[in-house]
Structure 1
Amino acid sequence: MKATFLFLTLLFLQVSIAFGQSIISGQINDEKGVALPGVNIFIKDSFDGTSSKLDGSFEFPTELKGNQILIFQFLGFKSKEIEINCDQETVKIPEIRLIEMITEMNAVTISAGAMQASDQSKSVILKPLDIVTTPSAMGDIMGAFQTLPGTSTVGNDGRLFVRGGDASEVGIYIDGMRVGNAYGTTTGNVPTRTRFNPNLFKGTFFSTGGYSAEYGQALSSALALNTKDLSIRSQGDLSLMTVGGGYSHTLANEKQSITASANYFNLGPYQQLIKQKVDFEQAPRSWDLEVAAQKKTGKNGLLKVMARTESGGMKLWQPLPGTDKRILVDLRNDYSYAQANWRTILKKDWMIFTGISYSKNLDNIAYDSLKVERSNQLIHMKATATKDFSDRLSAKFGLEHFIHPFSEKLVEENQVRNYKDQETYAFTEWDYYFNKSLVLRSGLRAGISTVSDQKWLDPRASLAYQLGDKGQLSFAAGKFHQLPLENYRVVNTNLQNSESDHLILNYLFSKEGFTFRAETFYKSYDGLVTFEGSETAPINLENGASGYAKGVDFFFRDRKTFKETDYWITYSFVDSKRSFNQFQTRVQPSFAPKHNLSVVVKHFFVNLKSQLGMSFSYNDGYTYSDPNVDNSAMNAKTKSFQNLSLSWSYLPKPNLIIHLACTNVLGRDNVFGYTYSQTPNETGVFESIPQGQLAPRFLFLGVFLTLSKDKTANNLNNL
């Protein structure tokens, strides 16, 4: 009897417990409806829960009653919470779909037309220090970028030419602020260089087309240089070179740093040792002073200030074809640049940037008895606000204003012509991640100019789709405007913007140690400026010319296959034709060779504490007009351009580098075009003078010493 009573009591308790429980069940999938196994499902503030099965289903009991919060958690996905009522015996949950979390580590990035050179970028193409150690670059920023796809080497110029566009179509920015006259002024057949030391920068963003709506007034490309943040130590840096020398000193602590530098360059002693093809009355020389300071403001703010001033010049004799006469060209240049910018993070994830910059360039040029003074100034004010509304949606808003005075003066005649333009721009750009594999960037840029009395609107868009873990496909399209060159606008202030439309398709494959990039593009031109006469004395200037550039380029970089070796190979094909300047019909410009090849190899010998570098550049030649053939324009082409350069860097001590480099080691006689006489000689031939290199080779030797109080400065990372 007791046993029967005990059995009935246990049975009653089990039934009571069963009726006191709720069974919670359901199905959990991802956004596409694919089952997610292993998802953690539990009731908030309790131990009741389970994990989803292989088919995404789940089921578990709970004794909790009333309204409860059910939580779903899975690595890489956003957590989800829903409210349920546990007073029922069975709680059937409708299908749950978790949304994948998008982070910088797993998200696809826009790559069409863009190449980043930043230590923080996961798809690094060039590091900033590659600029210094590329043999053919000789420490010049543009020399290094000329080894990248989409660029053309124009050996007697030195500026950056991108995809069939001339050098003026590349906008250059420092910390988001436009730089006026970023290249040193030059004359004749003497190539120029950028004014700024590559060691000033921590990273770069180089777009060969389809670039961000944040930038404008560049028909082909945008190059954004980002300066270093706080310096990590106080130190001094001494440089002694065959072309000059300099010293910079840095004072730094945890909250602020300042660097002051001074440099002097004079090619006179070098040119006395190495014979030049150009007859210099006074060799190129210059000096510069620069200060850069950084200071933390508050918890998230950083203030940067930099200022630079320089002065230089040269004198050379320029021969006239068909005669024994020579013209003395005397060039003097003074340049100043200053900027301040501040960025910080505010509440609710707003990031604010404000900046102001000022550029002033003054050229004094004496061409025989003709003396010209040219003044160019640029004031740039800018403010942007960026916000991540979620991990899927972010936006940038910006406003900027330019003040741009320009003047030309005939000194002896005391004749002046000038203008002062004010340009205002507003822009916005939105990024939306449909998922971690698909992102859309859309942008809009509006502008207005007081001198041209013109308003314009530039829509731009990019789309990127991830292919597997390592590859991605990107597409970019957009409209771009650019006002004509100052020396044309000062003659005719009614000139309007030139326009360009970009279409770009890009494939990028990147994994540790390897990068492969293939891109095809089409670029149209409208409203290009044409004139009669010469570039120095143009008349009848007007918009109305057009053209195009189309092609494909490839880039491959390997830092893994061969131990201690880094190399990259670039090939670009550009088919470009345009009517512009004095060309009334479409021609292939002299600055746009069709085939361009670059190979750069660097190998570090650990035991010898040395790095050996090699770079080779090739293009199929430059077009030019030969009046001895016929009257058509650009009817001839030079032989191919080839340049093999070598460099050797040696570290006898951790803080000492000895660097030796030589361009055009094989001494190839590269010709970039010809200057012809205005009239034929007695045999009916138009005589010419080739536009070639200053010398068969350029040899550079430099010694760089870093001094620091704590002896921790180490130049090994600079190789």
Structure 2
Amino acid sequence: MRSKTRLVLFLCIILSHTWQVMAQEKVLLPEILKMVEIKFDVQFNYASENINHLLVPSPIPNLNLEEVIEFLEKETNLKFIESENRIIIISKKPDTHICGYILNKEDGLPIEQATIQNKNFGTVSNKNGYFEIEIRNHEDLLIIRSLGFNTMNLKASEFQKTKCNIIFLEQNVHSLSEVYLTNYITNGISKTNLGSYEIDITKFDILPGLIDADVLQSVQAFPGILSIDETVSNINIRGGSNDQNLILWDGIKMYQSGHFFGLISIYNPQIVKNVLVIKNGTSASFTDGVSGTISINSNKELNTKTKGSIGFNLIDLNGYLDLKISNKSSIEIAARKSLYDFIKTPTFNRYFERITQDPEFENNTTNIVNKNEDFDFYDFSLRWLYEISSKDKLSVSFINAYNKLVFDENTIVDNRERSKESKLTQNSIAGSLLYNRFWNEKLNTTFEFYESDYKLQATNANIIEDQRFQQENQISESSLKVFGNYKFNKSLKLNLGYQFVETEITNLDDVDNPIYRLLVSEVLRTNGLFSELAYNSSNNQTQINFGIRYNYINKFNKNLLEPRLSFTHKFWNNFSIEVLAEFKSQNTSQIINLQNDFLGVEKRRWQLSNNNSIPIIKSKQASFGINYSKNNFLISSEFYYKHISDITTQSQGFVDQHQYVKSIGDNNVFGLDFLLRKSFTNYNFWISYSFMDNKYSFNSISTNPFPSNFDVTHAVTWGSSYTKNKFKFSLGLNWHSGKPYTKPVEGNEIVDNKVNYQPTNSSRLDSYFRVDVSAIYDINISKKVKGEFGASLWNILGTKNIINTYYTINNGSVIQTNEFSLGFTPNVSARFIFK
């Protein structure tokens, strides 16, 4: 007996010493198990293929059996279950990771960047739709989301243990239309099956001259869209005036579009997710915008983790935060502020010179000097999402944009210095509430409400005549929209809705010497009903959307019926045709007075239709297009005709003999938009061409028809981009024929102390030409911080393009005034993105 005791003691000492040695390095698990069996008189049962390959560190010698088992479970991810007769069974733990492939139920294609979340972890799917996520137990609930698809909730227990699940997401019937021409111009720009265009800012590549994805600069890359005076506040879609564009931000109608009085847009690209551009074939759910629609949208999906960025360029400072509040709520915040208060950069000076080159701002006489110039702009945007349940979603959006220009006019009168302040401010404040209810896989309903307020204030000092002229233009608009979408089957969907819009516009003119004051405030209320039927063939080759909108304006007892149509059909694999048509109307327009109005910087004031001298504007448009796409090669062409009736001369920007004429007329436009694009592995180039025949006919103007003020007969854009790893480069040029203008009669320039003009718009400015270049480089500064650095050169050749010409009389002579485009303008940017 003593011998046996001594033997056991001896073995324990040997084992203890062996464990101390083995604890210094990892050994095979079966060897450790044999020692544990001897020390604690237990037996392990296991499948050798589960443990023979495992290397683990040895447990500390003074641990008891329970502590050793706990240690081994932690190190091996195996399950140790104690059975009868001191037998311990070893088995694999249930998988703590599950995987799957997320596919589109409509076409079976993978869905990239879908978010998958449970209570503790989150991830996104890759380009193949694949994801992997850790779970704590098999009762975990997984929430799967992707923009444009219905949210899906799955329990972890529904996933297979031996292979990855295939998960099909159904398209949200209220989502944007299906994309059928990707990379239409460059990466992130696509054409939908309804003939509209979509810019996905998150995938947006690069365009010449841009280092930020400025929304209203980017849309000018499309053929048929340009700005005749190079500003984002005067975008012309197929020859229409800017006030004929409907600009929406998260469903809110906006009446201000630009900072720097039109040189950059007020929409911070950091908070913008996508932009929808519609030239024709508009959905019946939209009203206004007889020339086109630009719908700017923030992200409508909850984020999986908090992220943000801070950045600057030579114009502004900017910041962005996407804050995860909970698994059901997140908030996005973006803000920008001009650099003028901190530093006056060369880029800022170029922009400032561009907006203040008008003689009204410059010295009116040699005795007047403008001093103490102060300029500022800022914008603030917010979007809050709350997923009340898997079927109920709430979204709140808010935007505030502000512009200010202040300066003093100084002169010497009777040997005494006199000074008066002139000031101009623009401010937009708007907010919206959106509630979605998904009743079932066939039906969902949406409730939308927005309030949009705009105010333009100007105090114009005339120090020579000791006069102060104050002007105000104020808008307050409220809208309520309710609609539902019903999906009969895979091929047929129906949309029904109602919209109420109340618009109040107030205009003030106030002069102190002589005393004069005119305040006009008008209100219009519009009730709209709309319906739309969408058909998509089972093979996805044919799509038809037919809609009709009925608007009733109770103030005028006016009934307006507006049919809308979009039809696309694919054939021979690589070809597609599209037919688009629409009737539209709008109740608001802008009057433009160029003499002393708003300091000569921002001259437009919004006004409401009165159904008499300012009628409701109506349009009819039809187009036919054909596309060819194969092997990253695209040819797209579209022929169109547009007729706009009941426009006024005041809204068209005349600067000749018709400047103060009040007349009603029509606008007829024939045109062609053409695009050719070819993409290679790292290189992409495109060339677009637009032809336009744009004519006016006005009741009181005898020389009908005559070229429109926005008639640009030919426009050509060539662009290229190169992308390699984290470097992006883009070079491009823009050329278009000059806009029409009216010259005085040579040798007989003045009659009755007025400029004696030739026939209206019988002359043209010289052609416009500009070359731009830009580059962006991304670098990972750390695991959590990415840097994005960019540089651009706008108009690198320094071409002096005349964008407007007009004539005035001074001391019995005709004076010609030319307005020039932005000259050579460099810019650099830096952004630090926190992941």
Query: TM class, shorter-chain normalised?
Result: 0.7 to 0.9
Matches within 5 A, 1:654-693: 655-678=786-809, 681-682=812-813, 686-693=814-821
- Distance in 1 of aligned mates of 2:645 and 2:191: 36
Query: What residue number does 1:364 align with?
Result: 457
Query: What residue number does 2:377 align with?
Result: 286
Query: Do 2:588 and 2:609's aligned partners in 1 also have CA atoms closer than 8 Å?
Result: no
> What do the CA deviations read for 1:61-95 (whole angstroms, capped 9, x no partner)?
xxxxxxxxxxxxxxxxxxxxxxxxxxxxxxxxxxx
Pick one of 256, 268, 274 that aligns with 1:197: 268
Query: Do 1:109 and 1:464's aligned partners in 2 also have CA atoms closer than 8 Å?
Result: no
Unaligned runs of 5+ residues in structure 2 are 1-169, 363-369, 410-418, 462-467, 591-604, 747-756
- Distance in 2 of aligned mates of 1:455 and 1:399: 15
Q: CA 1:599–1:411 in structure 2 vs 1: closer, same or farther (change >3 Å)?
A: same
> What do the CA deviations read for 1:358-382 (whole angstroms, capped 9, x no partner)?
1111111123331102111211211
Matches within 5 A, 1:181-580: 181-184=255-258, 191-228=262-299, 229-252=301-324, 253-267=326-340, 269-271=344-346, 274=349, 276=353, 278=357, 282=373, 284-315=375-406, 330-347=423-440, 349-368=442-461, 369-412=468-511, 413-433=516-536, 436=539, 437-485=541-589, 487=605, 489=607, 492=610, 494=612, 495-511=614-630, 513-530=632-649, 541=662, 543=664, 545-559=665-679, 561=680, 563-579=681-697
Q: What is the letter of the counterpart of residue 444 of structure 1?
A: I
Query: Do 2:720 and 2:731's aligned partners in 1 also have CA atoms closer than 8 Å?
Result: yes
Query: Do 1:337 and 1:359's aligned partners in 2 also have CA atoms closer than 8 Å?
Result: yes
Query: Do 1:673 and 1:690's aligned partners in 2 also have CA atoms closer than 8 Å?
Result: yes
- Distance in 1 of aligned mates of 2:609 and 2:567: 42
Q: CA 1:156–1:534 in structure 2 vs 1: closer, same or farther (change >3 Å)?
A: closer
Q: CA 1:383–1:194 in structure 2 vs 1: closer, same or farther (change >3 Å)?
A: farther
Query: What residue number does 1:33 align with?
Result: none
Q: CA deviation at 1:643?
A: 1.2
Unaligned runs of 5+ residues in structure 1 are 1-101, 319-325, 708-712, 714-719
**TM-score w.r.t. length of structure 2:** 0.64
Query: Do 2:190 and 2:199's aligned partners in 1 also have CA atoms closer than 8 Å?
Result: no
> What do the CA deviations read for 1:165-210 (whole angstroms, capped 9, x no partner)?
11111112234x2422141376xxx544332112322222211122
Query: What residue number does 1:593 align with?
Result: 712
Relative contact order higher in (CA < 8 Å, ≥ 6 apart): 1
Q: CA 1:535–1:415 in structure 2 vs 1: closer, same or farther (change >3 Å)?
A: farther
Q: CA deviation at 1:297?
A: 2.3
Query: Do 2:499 and 2:528's aligned partners in 1 also have CA atoms closer than 8 Å?
Result: yes
- Distance in 2 of aligned mates of 1:647 and 1:129: 18
Matches within 5 A, 1:605-624: 605-606=724-725, 609-624=726-741
Query: What residue number does 1:84 align with?
Result: none
Q: CA deviation at 1:110?
A: 9.7
Q: CA 1:249–1:497 in structure 2 vs 1: closer, same or farther (change >3 Å)?
A: same
Query: What residue number does 1:92 align with?
Result: none
Between Structure 1 and Structure 2, whose CA radius of gyration is higher?
Answer: 2
Pick one of 780, 802, 807 that aligns with 1:653: 780
Query: Do 1:481 and 1:500's aligned partners in 2 also have CA atoms closer than 8 Å?
Result: yes
Query: Do 1:507 and 1:517's aligned partners in 2 also have CA atoms closer than 8 Å?
Result: yes
- Distance in 2 of aligned mates of 1:203 and 1:491: 32
Match of 1:136, SS state, is: coil
> What do the CA deviations read for 1:233-290 (whole angstroms, capped 9, x no partner)?
2123111221221222221143221122332114560259856363585354212232
Q: CA deviation at 1:493?
A: 5.7
> What do the CA deviations read for 1:217-240 (whole angstroms, capped 9, x no partner)?
111111222221222321231112
| Count of residue pairs the alignment pairs up | 583
- Distance in 1 of aligned mates of 2:484 and 2:777: 46
Query: What residue number does 1:162 align with?
Result: 237
Q: CA deviation at 1:648?
A: 1.6
Matches within 5 A, 1:23-172: 126-129=199-202, 133-137=206-210, 139=212, 140-158=214-232, 159-172=234-247
Q: CA deviation at 1:315?
A: 4.1
Structure 1 residue 636 and structure 2 residue 711: aligned?
A: no
Query: What residue number does 2:151 align with?
Result: none
**TM-score w.r.t. length of structure 1:** 0.74
Query: Do 2:774 and 2:791's aligned partners in 1 also have CA atoms closer than 8 Å?
Result: yes
- Distance in 2 of aligned mates of 1:244 and 1:263: 6
- Distance in 2 of aligned mates of 1:479 and 1:218: 11
Query: Do 1:371 and 1:410's aligned partners in 2 also have CA atoms closer than 8 Å?
Result: yes
- Matched-pair identity in %: 15
Match of 2:401, SS state, is: strand
Q: CA deviation at 1:303?
A: 1.7
- Distance in 2 of aligned mates of 1:581 and 1:653: 64
Match of 1:485, SS state, is: strand
Q: CA 1:538–1:133 in structure 2 vs 1: closer, same or farther (change >3 Å)?
A: same
Farther off after superposition, 461-470 or 233-242: 461-470
Query: Do 2:314 and 2:828's aligned partners in 1 also have CA atoms closer than 8 Å?
Result: yes
Farther off after superposition, 478-487 or 459-468: 478-487
Query: What residue number does 1:627 align with?
Result: 744
Match of 1:702, SS state, is: strand
- Distance in 2 of aligned mates of 1:583 and 1:138: 45
- Distance in 2 of aligned mates of 1:550 and 1:406: 33
> What do the CA deviations read for 1:127-149 (whole angstroms, capped 9, x no partner)?
32576732334532111111101
Structure 1 residue 706 and structure 2 residue 809: aligned?
A: no
Q: What is the letter of the counterpart of residue 693 of structure 2?
A: D
Q: CA 1:646–1:341 in structure 2 vs 1: closer, same or farther (change >3 Å)?
A: same
Q: CA deviation at 1:445?
A: 0.6
Query: Do 1:271 and 1:283's aligned partners in 2 also have CA atoms closer than 8 Å?
Result: no
Q: CA 1:703–1:346 in structure 2 vs 1: closer, same or farther (change >3 Å)?
A: same
C-alpha RMSD of matched pairs (Å): 3.5
> What do the CA deviations read for 1:468-526 (whole angstroms, capped 9, x no partner)?
22321111222222224165745956333222211110112345634332111111122
Q: What is the letter of the counterpart of residue 530 of structure 2?
A: F
Query: What residue number does 1:60 align with?
Result: none
Q: CA deviation at 1:161?
A: 0.9
Match of 1:199, SS state, is: coil
Query: Do 1:354 and 1:383's aligned partners in 2 also have CA atoms closer than 8 Å?
Result: yes
Query: Deviating runs (4+, > 6 A) in structure 1?
Result: 108-112, 115-125, 532-540
Q: CA 1:122–1:687 in structure 2 vs 1: closer, same or farther (change >3 Å)?
A: closer
Farther off after superposition, 274-283 or 402-411: 274-283
- Distance in 2 of aligned mates of 1:417 and 1:669: 41
Q: CA 1:701–1:118 in structure 2 vs 1: closer, same or farther (change >3 Å)?
A: closer
- Distance in 2 of aligned mates of 1:407 and 1:599: 44
Match of 2:209, SS state, is: helix
Match of 2:243, SS state, is: helix
